[in-house]
Structure 1
Amino acid sequence: MLYVASSVFAVLMGIGVIVIRMKASKKPTSVKKIILPPVFMSTGALMFIIPEFRVSLMELLEAMIVGMLFSILLIKTSNFEIRDQQIYLKRSKAFPIILISLLIIRIIGKGILSSSIDVGELSGMFFILAFSMIVPWRIAMYIKYQKLSRELGK
């Protein structure tokens, strides 16, 4: 039951990200819009105060490596363009496909791993995976944004 509920929640979050991304391409972006999501997400690390969510060093490293590898796909599909002397996030047809694919991989992985890893530890690992994916992605976006910003002379 918990697996199904968390999978449904993950799908809804994925749909939300796709919708937000599509809306974001219609408005100019800013440093704040790039940096704030990982800052807000970092509060989720408070889950590790509770012992059931703590992971071993090996689980931490595994989740971080997988997250960083997944971030490569997001980095490749996140580009900016200059329109009307402002910087916009470019719409990518591949982004929703990649996001849905990552979501499916996550759900399958969670199903497989839930039989051998405690649900609390697994939750901790998936938080680490997501955070390790969003931070490099947003750093890359920030670098790309700054490059275009310098071109505009801002």
Structure 2
Amino acid sequence: MAQISPFYLQIGATVGMLVMALLAIFIRMKASHRPVTIRKILIPPLGMSTGFFMFVVPETHVPLLWALIALLVGWFIFSYPLIRSTRFERVGEEIFATRSRSFAFILLGLLAVRLILHEVIQQYVTIPQTGGLFFLLAFGMIVRWRVYMYKHYKEVLAVQP
């Protein structure tokens, strides 16, 4: 079996993340034309929670304090710009996410910060541990953002048209 250089793996992963970020931006822009539902708000974090199965593999284990810090950084820092750029509006009986011009820049900015953090952190922990820490960071970010979206959705829903 052929060995792939870690340098090329890093380049491939970076390009892959950039493609995924652009895909997320595209999907988000398209989704703003369709009504938001509670299901669409809650399913992504539930689906993402299956990623915790990665911690069954011993190579991904990290100290509990590191895991807690990663989760809290995602919860308090990385989710904040997403929360600030998320708004809903009611059109008749349906609720839509309003387009935010800053959303694409926020996603790309978060990606850039993540890449820089990844370069620093992977010098101190193994690649599987780095993956686990960044999963926790992303999970904290997504859960807080979606909790905010759920509350905001309920507020907009409560206002009579």
Length-normalised TM-score, structure 1: 0.94
Structure label with greater radius of gyration? 2
Q: Which of structure 1's runs of 4+ aligned residues deviate more than 6 A?
A: none
Matched ranges for 1:18-97 at <5 A:
18-68=25-75, 69-97=77-105
Q: Which stretch shifts more, 46-55 or 125-134?
A: 46-55
Structure 1 unpaired stretches of 5+ = none
CA contact (8 A) 1:42 1:131 kept: yes
Query: C-alpha distance in 2, partners of 1:79/1:151?
Result: 15
* Percent of paired sites with the same residue: 39
The correspondence for 1:4, drawn from 11, 30, 47, is 11
The correspondence for 2:121, drawn from 113, 138, 147, is 113
One-letter identity of the residue aligned with 2:53: L
Query: C-alpha distance in 1, partners of 2:125/2:14?
Result: 17
Length-normalised TM-score, structure 2: 0.90
Query: C-alpha distance in 2, partners of 1:63/1:6?
Result: 21
Deviation, structure 1 residue 72: 1.0
Query: C-alpha distance in 1, partners of 2:34/2:160?
Result: 17
Aligned residues: 153
